[in-house]
Amino acid sequence: MTEFDLIKKPWERLLELVEAGDSTQLLDFLNSINPMDTALAISRLRMEEQGRLFSMLNPVDAAEVIEDISDTQAADLIEELSPEQAAAILGELDSDHVADLLGELDDEDAQAIIDEMDPEEAEEARQFLEYPADTAGGLMISEYLDYLADQKIHDVHVDLQANRQEYVDYHVQYLYVTDQEGRLCGVLRMHDLLFLNHASLLQQVMISTPLKVTVDATLEDLRNFFEEHDLFGVPVVDADNRLVGVVLPEAVEEARRKRSVHQFLGFSGIVGGEEFRSMPLLQRSGRRLSWLSLNIVLNIIAASVIALYQDTLSAVIALAVFLPMVSDMSGCSGNQAVAVSMRELSLGLVRPNELARVLAKEAGIGLLNGLVLGLMLGAAAWFWKGNPFLGLVVGGALALNTFVAVSFGGLIPLALKRMKLDPALVSSPLLTTVTDMCGFFFVLSFASLMLERL
Amino acid sequence: MTEFDLIKKPWERLLELVEAGDSTQLLDFLNSINPMDTALAISRLRMEEQGRLFSMLNPVDAAEVIEDISDTQAADLIEELSPEQAAAILGELDSDHVADLLGELDDEDAQAIIDEMDPEEAEEARQFLEYPADTAGGLMISEYLDYLADQKIHDVHVDLQANRQEYVDYHVQYLYVTDQEGRLCGVLRMHDLLFLNHASLLQQVMISTPLKVTVDATLEDLRNFFEEHDLFGVPVVDADNRLVGVVLPEAVEEARRKRSVHQFLGFSGIVGGEEFRSMPLLQRSGRRLSWLSLNIVLNIIAASVIALYQDTLSAVIALAVFLPMVSDMSGCSGNQAVAVSMRELSLGLVRPNELARVLAKEAGIGLLNGLVLGLMLGAAAWFWKGNPFLGLVVGGALALNTFVAVSFGGLIPLALKRMKLDPALVSSPLLTTVTDMCGFFFVLSFASLMLERL
């Protein structure tokens, strides 16, 4: 690498190396930069360049790169490869990571790749894909240590030493003990091996009432479990108590973080919960439009309220200045309530059926903030036109609409959750439609009532 | 507990027990419900009831309850207690948890509590408080195992067995080796103890080039570290290479999750990044108002554009219907770009100085989505009034304003980040102001230009 290369940005160098087609230099370069720079540099390549990059690496090295980048980025990339290439790379990854990636692909693409995997891995992948992502089944790993109840501590020591190379990457801090049918019957901490007699049988020294979860345990159940038990992992069993995997607390934290990221992006109208600027323009544009198109229809419905009051509006044209303000401000107040409800829902501090409680808690704020904001805007209107009645109309409408927006905003996420809809994606358009319609209606109908004084 | 009690909601039972004042029954009840229910039940009590609850528990039990609830909830609660009570409870928590909680309090309250803590703990708490929250110093724990380089493996075994009770809760999977001055000189995996000769000195068998981070390592540095190294923890050293703590990967994931939650809430106008409905009404109302008041001022500025065009508006009153639609829709499009930029910033996929790159990536989408949305709204306007020129004005304004909103929305988070402002809290009001002003201006100025045809 010349000095000139060093001052280049990593992605410029990466692009050069991909274009030059020299695998050895490419690999040296990737090994020399840190994972965040790898992710950054790859995100700067066009999809076909990314495909080219991966066909230059052998599966082991490609898998290492995959581990550095986000699942969405990786899934996009895998779609560019042939199923054979993809299967070879996935063969080098952890079982739960494989499932995560396959889960991001279309069913058809995923199936084509699974067909190319070796039969045992394919079977495992198929099994993992059956579990919903945010359950113990979807979050567990299959890399753990299990022994039979009638094995000796000595056998374990021998196995550990013999397979040290393989086990060294295992994240699991426990030995699980099963019977001949694979049913979980005990657990031992790795450390306990330091203190135990080599001649003992596992069943004599194991903790024989192991804590466990079932494959269908939800993210909330798992979070609860790890809040209650400060452990390095929990064994996952199927309906017949057979040990099928282990969930690590990091996996639970990561799933919770991802959920909150998806919530944030969904709330801002990013359908599907993820978008990178390395995605093709048409794909990004189309996904954003799908949400915006719904919005424009809702907006037309809301604005039609204004059309009903064109006479009032022609009589007092100043009202047109306040219409967007009242609807915007109420939207903001309502969104605050939406956000608090979504947060409390995901923390389990409120249940979807507690509409009355949330209403009681939000109505007070809606009233108070409505009064304050109504006074501010009413005063501004009065001051501007020198007409106290204009202030009354505008301020009164904002006060009332804030009350509606905050109360309704607090309730929407709960109601959507009960209807099994995603509050992140739907709350905001729904709220805006209601607050716009009500806001326009309050301003214009109040104005109609005291038209001769305006 | 009678059968009747069993069908009560946990918080009703909790309130009863607090009112009855029977500590033993209270403790039994708290031990019988899971952490999420504890958090839920406590959030339903008024602040003074929460204070009463905690004064009924001894510090050890109170600390266990504190571990079940969120830091914000816990901090609110601690403010209700006397500094002596609070200090006694904090004495039972992990060092990093103490620092997190003290960090949530006012400086004055935190100082009062530290003054009541035992001198050694107080010193440690003071030290932890000095480190910014999202750095290695703020995330590390002080519960780890360290030995001197000239100790024998045998000494370690003896110490482990002697202090098993204390160490059992330690989350750290490594032994750190220091010299007499406390400088980090090596590391050993706990498991290695299983394979090593008891007579060896630590310095003979340790890994003598341990991976480490400095106290000022950022959350991004730490995330990078754990992406690159699949370890259970990383030792933290000060400027003199003295070992001061250990950061666990869970702590990094948790900090990232919290940041994304704060981002979501801040983005929705929840100042301070957290609100629970158990907080007093006036506090919740005031915090929401602080953000809304800024918004109302910005809204007035934006709407003043409409006031400049009252003549145009009186001439074509139908325009009043489209003003809120154009500004709303552009705001939505812009927010999508804001969210993607915030996400890419926090993943390190874009740097704050890459304005040109983001502009290039967003302008295309702005153009494309602007055209589609403009055509939709323009057609609706034409269809409604039977006037193609109204469609041209409205559609053209939305197309152009979408382009502005998307381009500007993509840039705002980067620009705010460069100015060391919080993109989550400021992006949306700033975006809305600009898209409102431009939207009103485009609609009304285009209309003025072809006034005789409308």
Does A361 touch chain B if contact means CB atoms closer than 8 Å? yes
Contact at CB, B340 and A270, closer than 8 angstroms:
yes
Pairing of strands A184-189, A234-237: unpaired
Q: Which of B139, B173, B296 to mutate to test the interface with A (most CBs of A within 10 A)?
A: B296
Query: Which run of H or E residues covers position B187?
Result: strand B184-189
Sign of CA dihedral B38, B42, B44, B49: positive
Contact at CB, A310 and B328, closer than 8 angstroms:
no
Q: Which of B258, B322, B336, B385 to mutate to test the interface with A (most CBs of A within 10 A)?
A: B336
Task: Give the whole-angstrom CA distance, residue A423 versus residue A338.
Answer: 9
Residue with tokens 């020198």: A386
Chain B nearest C-alpha distance from A138 (Å): 19
Does B435 touch chain A if contact means CB atoms closer than 8 Å? no
Neighboring chain A residues of B361 at a CB cutoff of 8 Å = 277
Does B107 touch chain A if contact means CB atoms closer than 8 Å? no
- State which residue of chain B sits closest to A402, comparing Cα positions: B292
- State which residue of chain B sits closest to A66, comparing Cα positions: B227
Q: Name the stretches of chain B with pLDDT < 70.
A: 1-8, 168-169, 171-172, 272-273
Nearest to A320 among B313, B376, B432 (CB): B313
Pairing of strands B145-148, B174-178: parallel
- pLDDT score recorded for residue B3: 42
Does B32 touch chain A if contact means CB atoms closer than 8 Å? no
Q: Which of A306, A349, A394 to mutate to test the interface with B (most CBs of B within 10 A)?
A: A349
Q: Which of B317, B350, B358, B367 to mutate to test the interface with A (most CBs of A within 10 A)?
A: B317
Contact, B264 vs A339, CB < 8 A? yes
Does B251 touch chain A if contact means CB atoms closer than 8 Å? no
The region that residue A214 occupies, defined by phi over 0 for left and psi between -120 and 50 for alpha, beta otherwise, is beta
Contact at CB, B264 and A339, closer than 8 angstroms:
yes
Q: How many CB pairs under 8 A join A and B?
A: 291
Task: Give the whole-angstrom CA distance, residue B258 versus residue B273.
Answer: 9
Q: At B263, which amino acid appears? A: Q
Roughly how many angstroms between the first and final C-alpha of chain B, as a whole number? 77
Residues with Cβ within 8 Å of A349's Cβ and at least 6 positions away in sequence, in order, are B39, B40, B43, B276, B277
pTM of the entire structure? Answer: 0.82
* Cα–Cα distance list, A230 to A145, A190, A193, B162, B203 (Å): 20, 16, 20, 22, 32
Contact at CB, B268 and A338, closer than 8 angstroms:
yes
Task: Give the whole-angstrom CA distance, residue A438 versus residue B355.
Answer: 39
Pairing of strands A234-237, A243-247: antiparallel
Q: Which of B156, B227, B263, B268 to mutate to test the interface with A (most CBs of A within 10 A)?
A: B268
Contact at CB, B324 and A303, closer than 8 angstroms:
yes
Contact at CB, A317 and B304, closer than 8 angstroms:
no
- State which residue of chain A sits closest to B370, comparing Cα positions: A289
Contact at CB, B296 and A329, closer than 8 angstroms:
yes
Contact, A288 vs A279, CB < 8 A? no
Contact at CB, B264 and A343, closer than 8 angstroms:
yes
Nearest to B260 among A227, A260, A369 (CB): A260
Pairing of strands B174-178, B184-189: antiparallel
Sorted by where each starts, the structural domains of chain A and their CATH numbers stand as 3-130 (1.25.60.10), 145-247 (3.10.580.10), 275-453 (1.10.357.20)
Does A12 touch chain B if contact means CB atoms closer than 8 Å? no
Residue with tokens 């440690």: B124
Contact, A453 vs A356, CB < 8 A? no
Contact, B220 vs B349, CB < 8 A? no
Contact at CB, A36 and B340, closer than 8 angstroms:
no
Burial of B24 (0-12, 13-18, 19+ CB in 10 A): exposed
- State which residue of chain A sits closest to B293, comparing Cα positions: A373
Roughly how many angstroms between the first and final C-alpha of chain A, as a whole number? 77
Contact at CB, B35 and A227, closer than 8 angstroms:
yes
Neighboring chain A residues of B160 at a CB cutoff of 8 Å = 194
Contact at CB, B295 and A329, closer than 8 angstroms:
yes
- pLDDT score recorded for residue A376: 95
Does B441 touch chain A if contact means CB atoms closer than 8 Å? no
Neighboring chain A residues of B289 at a CB cutoff of 8 Å = 369, 372-373
Neighboring chain A residues of B267 at a CB cutoff of 8 Å = 264, 267-268, 339
User: What was the ipTM of the complex prediction?
Assistant: 0.82
Does A338 touch chain B if contact means CB atoms closer than 8 Å? yes
Contact at CB, A264 and B264, closer than 8 angstroms:
yes
- pLDDT score recorded for residue B192: 79
Contact at CB, A296 and B224, closer than 8 angstroms:
no
**3-state SS assignment for residue B354:** coil
Nearest to B325 among A291, A300, A335 (CB): A300
> Taking a contact as any Cβ pair under 8 Å apart, which residues of chain A between 204 and 233 contact chain B?
220, 223-224, 227-228, 230, 232
Neighboring chain A residues of B317 at a CB cutoff of 8 Å = 310, 313-314, 317
Does B368 touch chain A if contact means CB atoms closer than 8 Å? yes
| CA–CA–CA angle A74, A79, A80 (5° rounding) | 100
Does B322 touch chain A if contact means CB atoms closer than 8 Å? yes
Contact at CB, A332 and B249, closer than 8 angstroms:
no
Q: B234 forms bridges with which residues in the sheet?
A: B247
Measured from the Cβ of residue B283, the count of other Cβ atoms closer than 10 Å reads 12
Contact at CB, B303 and A322, closer than 8 angstroms:
yes
- pLDDT score recorded for residue A71: 81
Does B344 touch chain A if contact means CB atoms closer than 8 Å? yes
User: Could you list the pLDDT tens digit for every one of the 454 residues in chain A?
Assistant: 444 444 567 888 888 898 888 888 998 888 888 777 888 888 888 888 888 888 888 888 898 888 878 787 888 888 888 899 999 998 888 777 888 888 888 888 888 999 999 888 888 888 878 888 889 998 998 888 999 999 999 999 889 888 877 776 676 678 999 999 999 999 998 877 877 888 899 999 999 889 999 999 998 889 888 877 878 899 999 999 999 999 988 888 888 888 888 888 888 888 766 788 877 888 888 889 888 888 889 998 999 999 999 999 999 999 999 999 999 999 999 999 999 999 888 888 888 999 999 999 999 999 999 999 999 999 999 999 999 999 999 999 999 999 999 999 999 999 999 998 888 888 988 999 999 999 999 999 999 999 988 8
Neighboring chain A residues of B157 at a CB cutoff of 8 Å = 194
Neighboring chain A residues of B377 at a CB cutoff of 8 Å = 296, 300
